[in-house]
Homo-oligomer: A and B are copies of this chain.
Amino acid sequence: VTEDGPADGDGNPGVERDGAAGDDPPEAYADLVDRVERHRAIEDAAGHLRWDQEVVMPAEGTPARARQLAALSAVGHDVLTDPATAEALDAVAALTTEDDAALDPERAAVVREVRREHDRAARVDESLVEELSAATSEAHPVWRDAKEDADFDAFAPTLERLVDLRREYAAQVEPDADPYAALFHEFEPCLDIDTAERILDRLAHELPPIVEAARADSDGTADPATGDGTAVPTIEPATQEAVVRELLDGLGYDWDRGRLDTAPHPFSSGTPFDARVTTRFDPDDPLAGITSTIHEFGHATYTQGLPREHYGTPLGEARDLTVHESQSRLWENHVGRSRAFWEWAGPRIADHAPAAAAVDPADWHRAATRVEPGPIRVEADELTYHLHIVLRFEIERDLIRGEASVADVPDRWRARSTDLLGVEPGNPSEGALQDIHWSHGSFGYFPTYTLGSVLAAQLWAAMADDVGREALHGHIAAGEFAPIREWLGDAIHRHGKQYPTDELVERATGEPLRADAFLAHVRRRYATGG
């Protein structure tokens, strides 16, 4: 209710439609785009309501919010699977065989992406969608309580039901595929599961000795916070916020199209017009607040870099989770954990937090690259993180393929955690219950975290070839981040979903996605102390 006038309508200028294509599209294509844009707008509306829920919603707002999100999910699904959308796709497909009305490559890419998304959604029975939705709703409190009680058995029947439903879902959505691949494609539709498996297997074998070497290195030092040198001091949240706002300014975050808030679990979300980041501040661990903010900046700068004239179609959307995670990890790890970065950032932090004045760039860098295996994924360092992913990937893959049972999970977790990380969870809350993903019915999500880091290293290597490794170092130390943003904008951001992931990676780096650059990077940084 407005004090002072009607709240309906808005009178705002719209997005300029299809600006890059120039000529008027065929009518069938224009009709398809109307439907696609409506679907995108509904999804983005839901995204903002989730932001609101995590950041500003009052404590008791949940029941109404759940209704609102369920309604948007239902009407979004209806728009996508509407028979009229299939008809529009068919009408456009017919067009492409006539020379005079054929689509240009950008429009053809839109049709390719919408076709995939439509077909996947339309192949699944409505009743299964509802069953999955109900099952995940019920699963969440069961998982939360089981985690609190460290009681895997309390969650096991729920997990079994989710695995069964997801196997059924996989059989419907890609009837001829390996079921785990079908689920992986929910999050990463444009990479094949063999690529993912090959990369994860390689890391499973090659990372542990690097971890061992890096640990030995840090074992020789006395200070638990930084390895050696001066420890990072406690910094109050308000001061940390001033610090990360200045760092975001320097990195090139566009505040007119974004904002920074705090949230219990940091995330980023939004559109190219409004790409927000969240972070959290632990007084005792200022480094975590800084690296988490840089990570989310990487996501947001991808979103801000998408072509706004294509907002609403796949050409204005990010290329799925692997590429998104490559942007966050590139900024977090290749920029934000580099020695050069701390030469720039260190003095800026000291300006706000005098207690940090004695922490020199080498101290910050040591703290940011400290390696210490532990049971918890979200607390893991740049190296051991991927062994956590291997562990989850192997178990969920075998569950979905029917090659392992839920009852086996705790034993497998313990055994494989010991193999890979040399640590055993103290209880199931530090083991298979620690992550929310399975309680959401999300299987096949975890690999994208590692694939994103692997792609980040491959992009960074290609950028270093173009710009020069020393020049990159110089730019970062001087706080000149525009060359990095521009290289990524040109190689990745501006393309939206024009190319499938594999083609995008080849175009940007000259090679298919593989682990070489990542392993070279971690060997350089951790095995030689470089």
Once A41-B70, A75-B75, A267-B1 are accepted as A-B contacts, the answer to whether A273 and B63 lie under 8 Å apart by CB is yes
Closest B residue to A144 by CB, please name it: B11
Please report the C-alpha to C-alpha distance between residue A173 and residue B373 in the assembled complex, in whole angstroms.
69
Asked whether any CB of chain B lies closer than 8 Å to the CB of A369, the reply is no
Question: 5 nearest interchain CB pairs?
Answer: A11-B140, A61-B274, A41-B71, A64-B273, A12-B66
Task: Tally chain A residues at the interface, Cβ within 8 Å.
Answer: 92
CA separation between A113 and B499, bound complex, in Å? 50
The chain B residue sitting closest to A327, CB to CB, is: B1
| A72 close to chain B: CB less than 8 A | yes
> What per-residue 1/0 map shows which CB atoms of A439-483 lie under 8 Å from chain B?
111100100000000000000000000000000000000000000
> For window 232-286 of chain A, which residues contact chain B by CB distance below 8 Å?
255-259, 265-269, 271-274, 276
Q: Is the CB of B258 within 8 A of A58?
A: yes
A2 within 8 A of B: yes
Is A74 part of the contact surface with B, judged by Cβ < 8 Å? yes
CB distance A60 to B11 under 8 Å?
no
1/0 contact trace for A55-90 toward B, CB 8 Å? 011111111111111111011000100000000000
Q: Determine whether the beta carbon of B3 is less than 8 Å from that of A267.
A: yes
The answer on a CB contact under 8 Å between B12 and A65 is: yes
Q: Which residues of B contact A273 (CB under 8 A)?
A: 60-65
Given known A-B contacts A4-B267, A274-B64, A292-B3, A48 and B52 have beta carbons under 8 A apart: yes
Which of A57, A274, A324, A435 has the most C-beta atoms of chain B within 10 angstroms of its own C-beta?
Answer: A274
Residue A188 is within 8 A (CB to CB) of chain B in the complex: no
Copies in the complex: 2
Q: How far is A62 from B10 in the complex, measured between Cα atoms in Å?
A: 9
Residues in chain B near residue A276, CB distance under 8 A: 58
Report Cα–Cα, A530/B345, bound state, in Å. 65
Contact B5 A269 (CB under 8 A): no
Query: Does A220 count as interface, using CB distance less than 8 angstroms?
Result: no
Instruction: Out of B11, B38, B69, B441, name the residue touching A75 (CB < 8 Å).
Output: B38
Q: Are A63 and B435 neighbours in the complex by a CB distance under 8 Å? A: no
Using known A-B contacts A41-B70, A267-B7, determine if residue A64 contacts B256 with beta carbons closer than 8 Å: no
| A9 partner residues in chain B, CB cutoff 8 A | 133, 136-137, 140, 440-441
30 contacts between A and B (CB under 8 A): A1-B268, A2-B267, A3-B266, A3-B295, A3-B296, A9-B136, A9-B140, A10-B53, A10-B65, A10-B137, A11-B440, A12-B63, A13-B63, A41-B70, A44-B67, A45-B49, A45-B71, A45-B72, A48-B52, A49-B49, A59-B256, A59-B257, A60-B257, A61-B257, A63-B311, A64-B271, A64-B273, A64-B311, A72-B72, A75-B75
Shortest CB distance A116–B (Å): 18
